[in-house]
Structure 1
């Protein structure tokens, strides 16, 4: 199918893009990489009178780090994020989640900001941003810049806290230091498909091998990306090698509401898959945090999960 008729705008700067949004209001939509929006327009699942193409704005691109955080411009392509060695060092979850996003053609065009602003609950970057307590930078012609915590950004299916005249311009991710481990696990019918369920895990161990902090983000298990606060709280203060990863996975699924059910799987099926993925990701991240000298003891937990 073809999209409904629209007027195309290609501003030359972020300020000009914001001015167009302010002028056109709800009738306008930002077009970044277009990998989600264009198919929706073509299927006529969405309709806008105006599209504002920001894909060529240099002011929205780039990756910078200051030691405590890593900032990614909203217009930075997913391929650029995945190929950046600095991202892999500073925010490993971003680098490890990137290859799971569609296919390389999609990553060459899709942008980090486009993925997060689109707010698909089965997408990887929103779950990473939520798990790491990222800060999202919005800009409007009237109010200038404001920062939105990731915990407040995702408000519903394909909806965010962005105002109609606001443009997502960047995302700032905290850099975890110390004895940290990270893992991404997801299950899809085919490589490149949206995940039926997925998880991202980050944890830090203290000098006594106890969990100093933990973050568990989940995708495909609700109308928005989710955290697992009960499982995170249960892990903190415990020795990593003594935690029952399978039980942690089950705890992460407790209290979930609005779990999708479709031809890909029932809600119960997604819960079982999600629990298993949390357990697997937790073991992988724990092994990394503990170091190779303790990998043997942690690996025994993997067998217990499989059984």
Structure 2
């Protein structure tokens, strides 16, 4: 009978008991406890997202590996992946210690190697330095501030940035309408800092351009009034990085990785981040579910550093 009770233990119950254990038995600081629970909650969110019909006591090593693959594909730094794995390992070590499971599914899983090819992630301080290095007296200064702010605020792909239309900015709602890979449309929240930068550029810089026919609805234009190219965005970012002597090798995609990592590290759930990035499901059987747009906007406001 006891065995059946254990098998029926759901995620909420298991996480609550783990929380009580590390609080009472290990006497950890409140911040450490919150970090452990947040890490295990990421696994719970993933389980719900991909439709696992398993309790935490039935999870196996392959399930954990699939979870780690998922957060890797989200673009999280190696350190962030290792920290989340550390929390998950502590959780299953506890379940094994309490004899709720016969075998720890994380026992043979190693932390991600630092050699894994994930682009560098920028810190908040580094992003601030990049923005502050932009010469606002130059003709492209206000535009470049808006570009950096938009990349970081919404996690756009470079192709999505250069194709951004004026009519697809919903300032009153705090959303951008994006046409992503495969021409799939999604709504992405955008923070106040980025919206403000776009507005200043649109009012104080863009009107002085002689816009080429066919580019009237494109947000970001070059000095000749035509749509920017992918290469130009890479060049803008490389020059900025060089100007502050940034040692990291960065690209437009670095801001996308930073966007995802900072949201997840701040507490945003995986499914919301996946939706905003426009990622497809990592499993062939999962039905892609769209989240309530008010919830996505709330995630940005609560967890994005520049909102």
The TM-score normalised by the length of structure 2 is 0.25
Higher helix share: 2
Give the greater-gyration-radius structure (CA). Answer: 2
The TM-score normalised by the length of structure 1 is 0.25
